[in-house]
Amino acid sequence: MLTDITLGQYFPGKSPLHLLDSRTKIINTVLFITAVFFADNYLTYGIVTAFTLITVLMTAIPLRMILKSVRPLWVIILLTLLVHVFSTPGQIIFHAGPFAATAEGIRQGTFMTLRLVLLIIMSSLLTFTTSPIALTDGLERLLSPFKRVGLPAHELAMMMTIALRFIPTLLEETDRIMKAQIARGADFSSGNIIKRAKNMVPLLVPLFVSAFRRADDLATAMEARCYRGGENRTRMKELKMTGKDIVAFAIVIVLLIVLAGLKIVH
Amino acid sequence: MNLTLREMILVALFAALTAIGAFIQIPTPIVPYTLQFLFCAYSGILLGAKKGLYSQLLYVGIGLLGIPIFVNGGGPTYVLQPTFGFLLGFILCAYVIGKATEKFQASLSFAKLLSSILLGLFIVYLFGVSYLYAIVNLYLHKEMAIMQAIAVGFTPYILPDIILSIIIAYTATRIIPILRRRGLVT
């Protein structure tokens, strides 16, 4: 039932991308997204596409899983393609009903669609190769300079970690409460509105009571262990930048410079 | 942020509950819809305006970071989904419902709760439909009349959502006294 849902899309592995520091991956994803927006002709689109393909192959994640992350946006992708193909003025290639497809439109449509697909693939690679915990850890470290202007970086990362940690737990709990109440004769799937609303009460009361209790227990447990925020806190797994990270930065920055350069030259 | 540890954990747990709401799909004769709005409304009702807002903000933030907790996955490219506006609406909706119910603290009746929830629902649709309209017209450069946006983003969902609002208001009148008796909410 409900518990069949697997949360997160982290795909454990030992590829060069998996071994990178999560901060490196977050920053490089942003840099790559910037680089993609510099692409505007066959050569530059070729470069970013090749770069994406090589990165995907390096991660050793099955292609099927990568395509699955593109699927939810297929409507937008298809619409982007069609709108550009049929609404760009230029040399007409063929007619489809009242619409005319132009050579420029096909070119523009392909570029725009490609850009979108590359963006989706690269941003999903981040969560494919980084565990949620490493991701929130990296985010905390990246945001910590903003603590001075009042951004609670540590608290934010802590809440994200707790939310992620408790999604499966609360999901299982919801499932268990539903089954327990069904066993007692509750009916969640029939009757009129009032009856259904009444049937929701025995599901929601235990769910909220247990959520509040969990919050109390967890707060007590953390305070008993002297938790007092991010100040001077040590961690079990320290994030460490290594030579690999420097190489990754160098590659992406070179890509960014080359694409920006080609954009200026043209 | 000035939250106690317990409050921060509650914010996180309600973000988790909203994610669970997205996973629970209820088939209706018209369109399948989820229980996200239920947990969004409850985060405002049970946690209050500020913490309700934080919990929805956290939910949307985690999804945008790339953890697939939205109905159709997650990731930064989700902002291009025409339905992303509804998620933005949830953030403000939790705040508004929280603010409205905080006012009635002492005497929470079904009618007062229902009117607060419907106000929140209105905000969700306001954001949702305008975002849908904006993304189709500005990003896709496709002509779409505002009436069409309403026909796609509003008409099929409003009836089940109003039913859900009635359910939330009814269950809340039963749940709040129980939680108060146990000293879990103020």
pLDDT single digits (tens) A128-153: 898 888 888 898 889 888 888 888 88
pTM recorded for the entire structure: 0.86
Q: Report which residue type is found at B31.
A: V
Alpha helices in chain A (DSSP H): 16-19, 22-38, 42-59, 63-70, 74-87, 103-129, 132-143, 153-183, 193-224, 243-265
Q: Which amino acid appears at position A257 of this protein?
A: I
Q: With an 8 Å Cβ cutoff, are B81 and A8 in contact?
A: no
> What are B56-71's pLDDT values in tens digits?
999 999 999 888 888 8
CB contact under 8 A, B59 and A163: yes
Does any CB of chain A come closer than 8 Å to the CB of residue B110? no
Its domain, for residue A43, covers 2-265
Residues A38 and A259 sit within 8 Å (Cβ to Cβ) = yes
Chain A touched by B88 (CB under 8 Å): no
Distance from CA of A219 to the nearest CA of B (A): 5
What pLDDT is recorded for position A41? 87
pLDDT-above-70 percentage for chain A:
96
Chain centre to alpha carbon of residue A7: 12
A139 touches chain B (CB under 8 A): yes
Residues 6+ positions from A209 with CB-CB distance below 8 Å:
B178, B179, B182, B184
Q: Is A149 in the B-facing interface, judged by CB distances under 8 Å?
A: no
Q: How far is A9 from chain B (nearest CA, A)?
A: 7
- Between chain A and chain B, the number of residue pairs with CB atoms below 8 A apart is 162
Chain B CB contacts of A33 under 8 Å are 76
Report yes or no: A122 at the B interface, CB cutoff 8 Å. no
Q: Are B149 and B138 in contact (CB under 8 A)?
A: no
For the ranges B6-10, B42-46, B81-85, B152-156, the lowest mean pLDDT is seen at B152-156
Contact B66 A174 (CB under 8 A): no
**Of A243-257, B18-32, B58-72, the least confident:** B18-32
Secondary structure percentages of chain A, helix, strand, coil, to 5: 75, 5, 20
Domain count within chain A: 1
Question: CB of A2 within 8 Å of any CB in chain B?
Answer: yes
Structure tokens at A42: 């066959």
pLDDT digits (tens, 9 = 90+) for B152-183: 778 878 888 898 899 899 889 888 888 888 88
Q: Do the chains contact at B16 and A163, CB–CB below 8 Å? A: yes
The radius of gyration of chain A from alpha carbons, rounded to an integer in Å, stands at: 25
What's the confidence (pLDDT) of residue A93?
78
Comparison of pLDDT for A186 and B118, the residue scoring more = B118
Average pLDDT in the A29-42 region? Answer: 89
Whether chain B has a CB inside 8 Å of the CB on A151: the answer is no
Q: pLDDT digits over A58-113, tens only?
A: 988 888 888 888 887 788 888 888 888 887 777 777 777 777 788 888 888 899 89
Provide the pLDDT for residue B1.
Answer: 65
pLDDT at B29: 59
Residue B144 has pLDDT above 80, yes or no: no
pLDDT in tens, B77-96: 888 888 899 999 999 999 99
Q: A254 vs chain B: nearest CA distance in angstroms? A: 24
Q: If pLDDT is split at 50, 70 and 90, which confidence band does B151 have?
A: confident
Q: What's the average model confidence in pLDDT over B87-107?
A: 88
Using alpha carbons, select from B25, B30, B45, B6 the residue that is nearest to residue B154: B30
- Smallest Cβ distance to B5: which of A124, A211, A223? A223
Q: Closest Cα of chain A to B118: distance in Å?
A: 16
Interface test with B, best of A68, A170, A212 (most B CBs within 10 A): A212
Distance CA A125, CA A170 (A): 27
Which architecture does CATH list for B5-181? Orthogonal Bundle (1.10)
pLDDT for A42 beyond 80? yes
Q: Which of B3, B5, B69, B174 to mutate to test the interface with A (most CBs of A within 10 A)?
A: B5
When pLDDT is averaged across residues A27-36 and rounded to a whole number, the result is 91
Q: Is A241 on the interface with B (CB under 8 A)?
A: no
Lowest mean pLDDT among A36-40, A230-234, B176-180: A230-234
Does residue A16 contact residue A57 with C-beta atoms inside 8 Å? no
Question: What is the predicted pLDDT for the residue at A238?
Answer: 78
Residue B31: predicted pLDDT: 59
pLDDT score, position A83: 82
Which residue in chain A has the smallest CA separation from B179? A209
Instruction: Name residue A204's amino acid.
Output: L
Stronger pLDDT, A194 or B37, i.e. the higher one? B37
Instruction: Give me the pLDDT at residue B28, please.
Output: 60
Residue-wise burial string across A150-178, b where 16 or more C-beta atoms lie within 10 A, e elsewhere: eebbbbbbbbbbbbbbbbbebbebbbebb
In this structure, the number of other CB atoms found within 10 A of the CB of residue B131 comes to 22
Residue B175 near chain A (CB below 8 Å): yes
User: Span B144-149, mean pLDDT?
Assistant: 79
CA–CA gap between residue A40 and residue A260 (Å, rounded): 10
- Contact list in B for residue A155 (CB cut-off 8 A) is 1, 3, 8
User: Domain residue spans in chain B?
Assistant: 5-181
Element housing A102 (H / E):
strand A99-102
Is pLDDT of A1 > 50? Answer: no
Residue written as tokens 């905000």?
B123
Give residue B163's pLDDT: 86
In sequence order, the 6+-apart residues with CB closer than 8 A to the CB of B103 are: none
Q: How many CB atoms lie within 10 A of CB A251?
A: 14
Q: How many other β-carbons are positioned within 10 Å of the β-carbon of residue B86?
A: 23
pLDDT at B57: 94
- DSSP result, A10-61: -----SHHHHS-HHHHHHHHHHHHHHHHH--SHHHHHHHHHHHHHHHHHHT-
Chain segment A164-213, per-residue pLDDT in tens: 889 888 988 988 998 998 898 887 777 676 777 778 888 888 999 999 99
Asked if B41 has any chain A CB less than 8 Å from its own CB, the reply is no
Q: Report yes or no: A78 at the B interface, CB cutoff 8 Å.
A: no
For helices B36-47 and B49-65, the axis angle rounded to 10 degrees is 140
